[in-house]
Structure 1
């Protein structure tokens, strides 16, 4: 399975646009319908709207799409996927590479203009048309690490705790660091290195660790200005937690892939402010 040739979807879409056929219907048929097994929305229209909201290109982005499908991203991605699969003994899942819209490309300070969505049965990568090869690899590392961990934990959107979500994000970025170095880490991994406030963990994190279901704690992961929760707080906390736990346990990503989140939390004592239980 592995990397799906979504560049062929793009070619078909551009043919319909040039022929002035029903672009909206074709867009949904080509870019939403094949992803329904992952997302399971009620209709292709609903899924297309959701995908555009999280960053998928629109029917107006034909110039960017034309450039995107001329690149060699798919072959490179297939090679890298096989490397990761062998290294982590991971599952063989489909990887869908799609073009980002303008709004997502502008989000450089938190997600570097790209987005990944992971499920036990597949990965969707949404990236700019001129993405640098190692940035694409970093995104794949992060998302495939999620898939590998999910294959062990068997968690889903309704059962996963805030603690496990933070650990998943932290471990995935540790994997990026191991494979590519600090230069390719997500911006949120160092977001509060100089401005960390101990009260944030006390107020927004520690008492919520066992909350289940992403919808119940998304604000604690992504932040919420109205609730005074700093942006990407849970992501940042998760990375710092995992980085310190890896140091204490003297483990690399492969060893931590199946380590329970509670153990990582216990060994994630941070000297410069985090007040977790000492190992």
Structure 2
């Protein structure tokens, strides 16, 4: 990705995921990241999980996080098959940085193991990918480091949205507009509903099983919804 895109378009895309805009506040964040030696810490975390997950050797780009008035989030990221970006704000707990890295690098490892083009990914693939990444965060950092959206909705609500919005749209492609609307909860859809549903589905599946990370990277997305389909 980005090979033929103009710099302005790439920058705007990254801004949507938390990339900083130049101002006094983000300059202070950058200076704090330097003081905390965040680049070195991330490198150590990368070495750890690259070995543990037999993951690919990719470049990691770290930038200040753009704080939002409507959100308490202090970090975010976005990953691609051949690179990942981490956007980090004022964070004192190094485990928060590790949790962010785990989530994004888990995506990279799963993409490498799934052996298909990004354009071929479906809504089901996307929600399961998000759920698996946060399950890894819980496994290695603890539940307290899970993203806020993991517990946004109760089971009854999730099952309602599953029936009404997701069940019949699992095969829509990543390139289709409805994909992001359901995944992120845009327009009339509840905020982050696809992410939360993915975490719910993965948790239900793994609560009854003890599977190695390597196996989960290779598992087809449909195995994680078999139990909910069987219950219907």
Give the TM-score normalised by the residue count of structure 1. 0.75
Matches within 5 A, 1:93-242: 93-103=58-68, 107-108=71-72, 112-193=73-154, 196=157, 198-216=159-177, 217-224=179-186, 226-227=187-188, 229-242=189-202
| 1:97 Cα offset (Å) | 1.1
Is residue 18–residue 77 contact of structure 2 (8 Å, CA) maintained in 1? Answer: no
The offset of 1:39, in angstroms, is 2.9
Shift in Å, 1:214: 4.5
1:43 lines up with 2:3 in the alignment = no
Within 5 A, what are the aligned runs for 1:28-67? 38-40=1-3, 42-61=5-24, 62-67=27-32
- Aligned-residue CA RMSD (Å): 2.1
Tell me which of the two structures has the higher relative contact order, counting C-alpha pairs closer than 8 angstroms and 6 or more residues apart: 2
CA distance in 2, matches of 1:223, 1:83: 34
1:206-237 deviations in whole A, cap 9, x for unaligned? 0001111254311111112x42x111111111
- Give 1:194 shift: 6.6
Q: Which runs of 5+ in 2 are unaligned?
A: none
Asked if the contact 1:123/1:143 (under 8 Å) is kept, the reply is yes
Shift of 1:55: 1.9
Supply the distance in 1 between the matched residues of 2:112 and 2:38 (Cα, whole angstroms).
26
Separation in structure 2 between the aligned mates of residue 73 and residue 190 of structure 1, nearest angstrom = 29
Are positions 1:90 and 2:85 aligned together?
no
In structure 2, C-alpha distance between the alignment counterparts of 1:84 and 1:160, rounded to whole Å: 24
Kept after mapping to 1: 8 A contact 2:63/2:88: yes
Check the 8 A contact 1:57/1:100 in 2, yes or no. yes
- In the TM superposition, residue 278 of structure 1 has moved relative to its aligned partner by 4.4
SS of 1:54 mapped into structure 2: coil
Q: Which residue of 1 aligns with 2:210?
A: 250
Task: Find the aligned partners of 2:16 and 2:150 in 1 and give their Cα distance.
Answer: 24
Q: Name the residue aligned to 2:46.
A: 81
Change (3 A) 1:106 1:73: farther
The alpha-carbon deviation at position 131 of structure 1 amounts to 4.8
- Secondary structure in 1 matching 2:71: coil
Aligned to 1:72: 37
Larger radius of gyration: 1
Structure 1 unmatched ranges of 5 or more: 1-37, 270-275
C-alpha distance in structure 2 between counterparts of 1:65 and 1:56, whole Å? 12
